[in-house]
């Protein structure tokens, strides 16, 4: 079964492709966190998603840096209701997803049930394990409303 790192519909406001993204935005527009990526890579199992993020913008730098599959749960902009709690539970139970990287703000009401499930059923990974204290949060997230948003990494642990 082939894995596609990001799946989203046709109405995309900015062109979105592999290496072009790096040159198009430069490294300033996308925040890269080597410590986070190393943490996720060290816990990655072949054939699964390394982490699930809210949208393609937060998934892109991780995909570019690691070349590993990342799921953008809310599609490109983060407001696509593609993922339901039922689908999420199946993915988690099948071992397809273990980590969730969430921004401080929620993204659209249709996604709040998914976010609530993650917050209820997953544990927060302590920031010192994956947050790079050297790198300041980027002030420019391509104008998509991520400024100063705090990130939380959740881990699903089978009961």
**Tens-digit pLDDT profile for residues 37-67:** 999 999 999 999 999 998 888 899 999 999 9
Which residue's entry shows tokens 């199946």?
Answer: 90
Percent residues over pLDDT 70 in the chain? 65
Give the long-range contacts of residues 93-96, CB within 8 A, separation 24 or more. 95/45, 95/48, 96/48, 96/49
Closest CA relative to residue 3, chosen from 38, 45, 42, 35? 45
Domain boundaries, the chain: 19-156
10: confidence class by pLDDT, cuts 50, 70, 90: very low
Whole-prediction pTM value?
A: 0.71
Closest CA relative to residue 59, chosen from 37, 80, 39, 91? 37
């Amino acid at each position: 079964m082939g894995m596609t790192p990001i799946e989203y519909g046709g109405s995309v406001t900015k062109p979105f492709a592999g290496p072009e993204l790096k040159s198009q935005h430069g490294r300033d527009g996308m925040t890269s966190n080597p410590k986070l990526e190393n943490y996720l890579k060290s816990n990655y199992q072949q054939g699964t998603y390394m982490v699930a993020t809210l949208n393609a913008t937060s998934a892109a730098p991780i995909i570019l840096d690691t070349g590993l599959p990342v799921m953008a749960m809310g599609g490109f902009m983060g407001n696509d209701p593609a993922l339901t709690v039922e689908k999420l539970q199946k993915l988690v139970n099948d071992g397809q997803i273990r980590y969730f990287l969430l921004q401080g703000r929620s993204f659209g009401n249709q996604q709040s049930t998914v976010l609530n499930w993650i917050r209820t059923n997953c544990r927060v990974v302590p920031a010192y394990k994956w947050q790079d204290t050297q790198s300041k949060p980027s002030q420019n997230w391509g104008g998509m409303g991520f400024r100063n948003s705090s990130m939380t990494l959740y881990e699903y642990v089978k009961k």
